[in-house]
């Protein structure tokens, strides 16, 4: 067995005193490990933990999750964002049920084959659930190793990532894989932070090349800048005398695929729509005419990694909501919140000031 590296030794000694008690670490159930890893992707632990607990309560086993209706899974995920994770989660659960007889796979390549599972997540499951020697490499680990080794090449370059992967695989050799992986992730998340880390008291201060060369603030270096787009979503809340409204089941491959929202006119500008354009849209799309319209008093904003969304909500009374075709549904206004909704809608529905004004 390979001798444990000095890097791993220091890391494990540091982690022994600060290891966090998290609910998915209570046992080594691969289903719970996988579930926690998917939920915690791009999510802070304090935000993700309640969702993890809700999922385990609703779906105690991966087969329970596989058998759940898609709408129920999406509703339970509501508010956590990055909804492709929920869709992939459900798809992967079905794969385990159908292709692995309901038993979570133990082979790394089989784990990696599940939808939504990349190298990082597969390594986490293999090490945490099965004690297999696969090193996790996420953003925290990339930052720690880039600084430790003084890697100044762009980490969004495939060759640099391959170099870091190779170093990570070497450092984990001979250690307790689960303990090592948890330690290096926690070290990056809580100590070797993106901004203003306390390098003077760091356990690697005497050997960290970035600290030695004064490059901590420059490493890790990324060559590509994230391009952001701005979207202006004008939602039409249509209602008739019977308290019915229209919602849409989003089918297109977008950030909110499989969720429900109101009919929407996406425009290039945040300039409010006029009654003529709204009337033309409702007439051509649903054969309806406007009786009364209440225009928005505010704009709701939601920021994502690659886009910023602005939403405005128009309340429109019509005579009668006629029979609708997919992807549109006619539901009672009181039932809307029982569906899985995007964050802009939940923000609006919680805003008593605007709701009261329109009622």
Whether 237 and 202 share a structural domain: no
Expressed in percent and rounded to 5, the helix, strand and coil fractions of the chain are: 45, 15, 40
224: in domain: no
C-beta separation of 280 from 201 below 8 A: no
Q: How many domains does the chain have?
A: 2
Q: Is residue 260 part of a domain?
A: yes
Does any domain span residue 255? Answer: yes
What pLDDT digit, counting tens, does each position of 140-151 carry? 999 999 999 999
Q: CA-to-CA distance for 313 and 232, rounded, in angstroms?
A: 11
Whole-angstrom Cα distance, residue 59 to residue 54?
A: 8
Q: Which of 272, 276, 293, 292 is nearest to 284 (CA)?
A: 276
Pick the catalytic residue: 6, 26, 37, 353? 37
Report residue 81's pLDDT band, with 50, 70 and 90 as the boundaries: confident
Q: Kindly state whether residues 78 and 30 are assigned to the same domain.
A: yes
Tell me, yes or no, whether 175 and 250 share the same domain: no
Which tens digits make up the pLDDT trace of 11-38?
999 998 776 677 777 788 999 999 999 9
| pLDDT given for residue 150 in this prediction | 94
Query: Is the pLDDT at 357 greater than 90, yes or no?
Result: no
Residue 228 has pLDDT above 90, yes or no: no
DSSP 8-class letter at 5 = P
Q: Is 144 exposed, middle or buried (0-12, 13-18, 19+ CB in 10 A)?
A: buried
Final residue before a domain boundary, out of 162, 187, 212: 212
Is residue 166 located within the same domain as residue 242?
no
Give me the CATH number covering residue 242.
3.90.79.10
Element (H, E) at 32: helix 30-40
Q: What pLDDT does residue 354 have? A: 67
Whether residue 1 is contained in a domain is answered as no
Residues 269 and 163 in one domain: no
Q: Is the pLDDT of residue 189 over 80?
A: yes
For range 254-283, the mean pLDDT: 91
pLDDT at 121 (0 to 100) = 94
User: SS3 string of 140-196?
Assistant: HHHHHHHHHHCCCCCCCCHHHHHHHHHHHHHHCCCCCHHHHHHHHHHHHHHCCCCCC
Supply the CATH number for residue 144's domain. 1.10.340.30
Which domain range does residue 165 map to?
6-212
**β-pairing, 290-294 with 260-261?**
unpaired
Q: Which long-range contacts (CB under 8 A, 24 or more apart) does 352-357 make?
A: 353/297, 354/296, 354/297, 354/298, 354/313, 357/294, 357/297
The arithmetic mean of pLDDT across residues 271-289, rounded, is 92
Please choose, from the candidates 204, 178, 181, 180, the residue with its C-alpha nearest in 3D space to the C-alpha of residue 191: 204
**Residue 268 known to be catalytic:** no
pLDDT tens digits for 111-138? 999 999 999 999 999 999 999 999 999 9
Instruction: Based on the fold, state whether residues 184 and 297 are members of the same structural domain.
Output: no
Q: What is the mean pLDDT of the chain?
A: 91
Same domain flag for 58 and 180: yes
Does residue 192 register a pLDDT over 90? yes
pLDDT of residue 59: 97
Rounded CA-CA distance 220/29 in Å is: 34
In a domain, 159, yes or no: yes
């Amino acid at each position: 067995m390979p001798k444990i590296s000095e890097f791993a030794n220091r890391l494990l000694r540091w982690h022994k005193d600060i290891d966090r008690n998290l609910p998915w670490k209570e046992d080594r159930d691969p289903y719970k490990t996988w579930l926690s890893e998917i939920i915690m992707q791009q999510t802070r632990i304090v935000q993700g933990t309640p969702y993890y607990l809700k999922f385990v309560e609703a779906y105690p086993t991966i087969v329970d999750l596989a058998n759940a209706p898609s709408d129920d899974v999406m509703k339970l995920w509501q508010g956590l964002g990055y909804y492709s994770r929920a869709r992939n989660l459900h798809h992967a659960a079905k794969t385990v049920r159908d292709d692995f007889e309901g038993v979570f796979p133990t082979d790394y390549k089989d784990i990696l084959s599940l939808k939504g599972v990349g190298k990082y997540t597969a390594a986490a499951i293999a090490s945490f659930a099965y004690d297999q020697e696969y090193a996790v490499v996420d953003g925290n680990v990339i930052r720690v190793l880039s600084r430790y080794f003084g890697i100044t090449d762009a980490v969004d370059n495939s060759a640099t990532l391959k170099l870091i992967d190779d170093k990570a695989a070497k450092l984990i050799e001979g250690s307790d894989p689960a303990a090592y992986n948890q330690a290096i992730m926690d070290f990056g998340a809580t100590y070797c932070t993106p901004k203003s880390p306390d390098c003077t008291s760091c356990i690697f201060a005497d050997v960290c090349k970035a600290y030695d060369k004064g490059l901590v603030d420059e490493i890790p270096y990324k060559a590509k800048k994230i391009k952001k787009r701005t979207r202006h979503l004008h939602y039409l809340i249509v209602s008739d005398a019977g308290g019915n409204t229209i919602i849409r089941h989003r089918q297109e491959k977008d950030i909110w695929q499989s969720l429900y929202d109101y009919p929407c006119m996406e425009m290039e500008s945040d300039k409010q729509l006029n009654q003529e354009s709204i009337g033309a849209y409702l007439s051509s799309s649903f054969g309806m005419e406007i009786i009364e319209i209440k225009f928005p008093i505010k704009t709701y904003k939601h920021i994502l990694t690659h886009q910023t969304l602005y939403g405005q909500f128009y309340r429109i009374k019509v005579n009668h909501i006629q029979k609708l075709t997919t992807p549109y549904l006619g539901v009672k206004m009181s039932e809307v919140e029982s569906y899985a909704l995007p964050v802009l809608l939940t923000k609006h529905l919680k805003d008593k000031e605007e709701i009261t004004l329109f009622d």
